[in-house]
Structure 1
Amino acid sequence: PFVLSKRQAKGWPRLINHVDVEEVWQTLGRDGVAYELRLEPGPTAYRADWPITTMQPQQHLGYAVQWFALAAALLALFIYFGVHQARGSKQ
C-alpha cells in the first residue's frame, strides 16, 4: 500500500499513515486476535467494490479556496457584528 512515511509519532494520540495490524498489537503490548471474521459476498452484504474516483489537483485547490473564503467571510461577519454590538453598548 501507499505509505507517506514510516516515521512513528511519539506519545498519544499517535498519528499513523497506514494501519499495520501486527505493528499496532506489538506497540500496545498485546497478542492481538486469533481470528478475523469476514462477510461473504451476497445480496445483503455491504458492498466494498466502490468505484475509484479521481480528482484533479485543481479540484482540491478549488475546495481549499472555497473553504478559506467561507472562513474569511465568517470572520469578517464576526468582527463586523462584534464591533457594532460594542459600539451600541457604549451609547
Structure 2
Amino acid sequence: MATIKNPLYVVTNEGRDVEGVATYLELLVKKFGLQPFLDIMDSMIAMLTNQVGNYGFFIALQKFIDHMAAQIEKVVEFASRII
C-alpha cells in the first residue's frame, strides 16, 4: 500500500477527537456521521436479497442497487472536487 502524502483527517466531538481516514468516502461518512445510515442501508439490502424468489424481483433489486451506487458515486465525485 502506498503512503499518502497528504493524509485526510476528520475532527469530531467539537475538536476533541481526530481520526485519520484513507478515502474521501470514508471522510464524508465520518464527518457527517453517516455510519448509522449505512448500517440501515446494509441491513435493508440484506433483507431484500433474502426475499429474492424469482428473476423479476432480482432484476428490480439489481436496478435499485445500481441506482443507489450511482448516486453514491456522484456524491463522492462532487465531494472530492470540493475537498
TM-score (norm 2): 0.35
TM-score (norm 1): 0.32
Structure that is richer in strand per residue: 2
Structure that is richer in helix per residue: 2
Which structure would you say has the larger Rg? 1
